[in-house]
Amino acid sequence: MRYFKLPDLGEGLPEAEILEWNVKEGDEVKVDQILLSVETAKAIIEVPSPQDGTIAHLFGSPGDTIHTGEPLLEFAGESEQDTGTVVGELKQQATADNGGGEQFFIGASPSSRQYRDRQVSPAARALARRLDIDLGTVPQRDGRVTAQEVELAAERAQRRGPFEPLRGVRKQMARTLAAAWEQVVAVTLHDDADIEHWPAGTDITLRLIDSLAYACRHEPALNAWFDGEHLAIRRHRQLDLGVAVDTEQGLFVPVLRNVGERSAEDLRAGLDRLRKDVRRRSIPPAEMLGATLTLSNFGMFGGRYATPTVVPPQVAILGAGRIRTEAVVFEGVIQARRRLPLSLTFDHRAATGAEAAHFMQLVVTRLQETTGSDPAT
C-alpha cells in the first residue's frame, strides 16, 4: 500500500496523539517493525509497520492528533492497492463503475495541511487591545494565540509590574549588541598569561594595552574592519583601541587613539582623561567612534573567562578576567602562581583560527615578559 492510515486501535477510538516517531523519512522498514508510538484516550500504543518498505513521507509530528483512517506515512514507490478501505491518493470518479475500492483523505489533503492557519484569534486580538498587551509577548498554544493566553499574560504583567523602556546608553547597548550578535560569526579562544613575576603596582590595563599593540604589530589580521554585506576587509596600520569603561549609567567604550605610537605615560594620561570624561559625561561622541579593536578588562569586577562580543565592523575583542593565584605546573613542578585569564573573540568571517591563535600567543608572550616596555617598541 502507498499510504498507511491510522488503524482503529480498538473499541472504535476515533483518534490518537502522536508521541514519538521511531523511524524517519528515507528509512527502510520491515513488516512489524515499530513505526511510532501514539496515545489514545485509553493507552499508549506502539504501531507496527504493515509491510516492508521505504518511508517516503511522514505525516504529523509528536503532539499532533490524527484521526483513525488518516494517513500516518507514505511508503515510497508503491501504487494504490485495491483495499477498498479509505484514504489515499485518488483521481477517480465515484460514479464510475470501477468496481474498485474508494480512496479519499479524511480532512485536508497532505499538500493542504501546512496551510492551516497559525493565527491570532479575533478574541485574543480584541482582548489584547483592551488590556494593552503586546501580542508579541503572548505565547502560542497549538500554534494559536488564544484569549486565555492573553488573559494570563495580563495577569503576569500585573503581578510583575510593567516593563520599563530602556533609555540612553543601555538602550544603545542593547541595540548594538543585538545587531552584533546577528552579524558576527564569533569564535572565542581562551588562554592564561603567567604574571607571577609582575612587580607590585603594575598597571594591568596598560600592560594589556601594550600587549595588544605588540600583537597587532606582528599579527595585523585582527586589527581590521570587516564589511559583512560586501565581504570586504580593511586592515588598519594604526591601532585605535576601544577600552570598555563601566559606569552607573552603563557601558562606555571610549577610544584610545594610535596606541602603537605612544609612550606608556602618554597612554596612562590619555586613559585617565578618557575615564574621567566618561564619568563626568563630558566625553564627546567622536571619542567613542572608530575603534579598530576593543579591550574589556572585566576582571576588575570578577570573572575568569568570557565570550565577549565583537562589535562590527571590528573583528576582535580581548577580554581579561580577574588575576588569580592557581596551582600550575611550572618547569616540571606544581607551584602557586598568579595567572591572568584571557578571552579573545574574533569574527571568523574575517580571520582564520590560525591568525587568532597567533594573535593570542603574541598577547600572552608579551604579558609574560617581566617588564612592560613602551608599546612603541
Partner 1 sequence: MMSEPICLLEAVNLALARALEDDPEVILFGEDIGRNGGVFRATDGLAQRFGAHRVADTPLAENMIAGTAVGMATQGMRPVAEIQFMGFIFPALEQLICHAARLRHRTRGRLSCPMVLRAPYGGGIHAPEHHSESTEALLAHIPGLRVLIPSSPARAYGLLLGAIRSDDPVIFLEPKRIYRAGRTRVEDNGQALPIDRCFTLREGADLTLIGYGAMIPECLAAAELLAERGIDCEVIDVAALNPIDYDTLLASVSKTGRAVIVHEAPGKGGVGADISALLGEQLWGRLRAPVIRVTGLDTVMPYYRNEQHYLPGVSDILDAVDKSLEAGRDEILQATGSG
Partner 2 sequence: MRETVFKTEIGLTRYLGVDGEPLGELPTWSHEPEPLTGYYRWMVLARQFDQKAIALQRTGQMGTYASSLGAEAIDVVTGHLMTRDDVLVPYYRDHALQMIRGTPMRDILLYWGGDERGNAGPAMGRDLPNAIPIGTQTLHAAGVAAALKYRHQPHAVVCLCGDGATSKGDFAETLNLAGVWHLPLVMIVNNNQWAISVPRHLQCAAPTLAQKAVAAGIPAEQVDGNDPIALHEVIEHALSRARAGKGPSLVEALSYRLSDHTTADDAGRYRTPEQLREAWQRDPLKRLRQYLYNRGYWDESRERQCLDDAQQQVQRAVDEYLSTPPEPVESLFDYLYAERPEQLREQVEMARVRGGGA
- Provide the binding-site residues for partner 1, judged by CB under 8 A: 8, 12, 14-15, 67-69, 82-86, 89-102, 104-113, 115-117
Indicate the residue among 85 and 176 with the shorter CB distance to partner 1. 85
Q: Which three cell numbers stand for residue 90?
A: 485518488
61 CB burial (10 A radius; 0-12, 13-18, 19+): exposed
From partner 2, partner 1, none, interface partner of 188 (C-beta below 5 to 8 A by class): none
Choices 42-50, 69-77, 125-133, 261-269; region in contact with partner 2 by CB under 8 A: 125-133
Cα 311 versus chain centre, distance = 16
Three-class SS state of 205: helix
- Please list every residue from 282 through 301 that binds partner 2, using CB under 8 A: none
Which residues, 6+ apart, have CB-to-CB distance to 340 below 8 Å? 192, 193, 195, 204, 299, 320, 321, 323, 367
Indicate the residue among 116 and 175 with the shorter CB distance to partner 2. 116
Exactly one of 81, 121, 202, 361 binds partner 2 (CB under 8 A); which one?
121
From partner 1, partner 2, none, interface partner of 146 (C-beta below 5 to 8 A by class): partner 2
Indicate the residue among 151 and 203 with the shorter CB distance to partner 2. 151
Residue 136 CB neighbour total at 10 angstroms: 7
From partner 1, partner 2, none, interface partner of 97 (C-beta below 5 to 8 A by class): partner 1
Indicate the residue among 3 and 198 with the shorter CB distance to partner 1. 3
**Minimum CB separation from partner 1 for residue 108, in Å?**
4
Q: Which three cell numbers stand for residue 232?
A: 570586504
Burial 85-115 (b: 16+ CB within 10 A, else e): ebbbeeeeeeeeeeeeeebebeeeeeeeeee
Q: In angstroms, what CA-CA distances link 191 with 114, 314, 339, 341, 344?
A: 49, 21, 10, 6, 8
Indicate the residue among 146 and 294 with the shorter CB distance to partner 2. 146
Give the length of the chain: 377
Strand partners, 29: 53
**Minimum CB separation from partner 2 for residue 128, in Å?**
10
Query: Element (H or E) spanning 293, and its range?
Result: strand 293-296
Indicate the residue among 108 and 126 with the shorter CB distance to partner 1. 108
122 binds partner 2 (CB under 8 A): yes
325, 337 contact by CB (below 8 A): yes
- Please list every residue from 309 through 348 that binds partner 2, using CB under 8 A: none
User: What are the backbone dihedrals phi and psi of residue 72, each rounded to the nearest 5 degrees, phi first?
Assistant: -95, -45
From partner 2, partner 1, none, interface partner of 147 (C-beta below 5 to 8 A by class): partner 2
41 binds partner 2 (CB under 8 A): no
**Minimum CB separation from partner 1 for residue 182, in Å?**
24
64 binds partner 2 (CB under 8 A): no
From partner 2, partner 1, none, interface partner of 126 (C-beta below 5 to 8 A by class): partner 2
Residue 32 CB neighbour total at 10 angstroms: 11
Q: Which three cell numbers stand for residue 274?
A: 578618557
From partner 2, partner 1, none, interface partner of 151 (C-beta below 5 to 8 A by class): partner 2
Residue for grid cell 586592515: 235
124 binds partner 2 (CB under 8 A): yes
CA-based end-to-end distance of the chain: 80
Binding mask 134-173 for partner 2 (x = CB under 8 A): ------------xxx--x----------------------
356, 222 contact by CB (below 8 A): yes
183 binds partner 2 (CB under 8 A): no
Indicate the residue among 33 and 68 with the shorter CB distance to partner 2. 68
**Minimum CB separation from partner 2 for residue 151, in Å?**
7
Indicate the residue among 95 and 370 with the shorter CB distance to partner 1. 95
Residue 341 CB neighbour total at 10 angstroms: 20
From partner 1, partner 2, none, interface partner of 123 (C-beta below 5 to 8 A by class): partner 2
Which residues of this chain interact with partner 2, rule CB under 8 A?
121-124, 126-127, 130, 146-148, 151
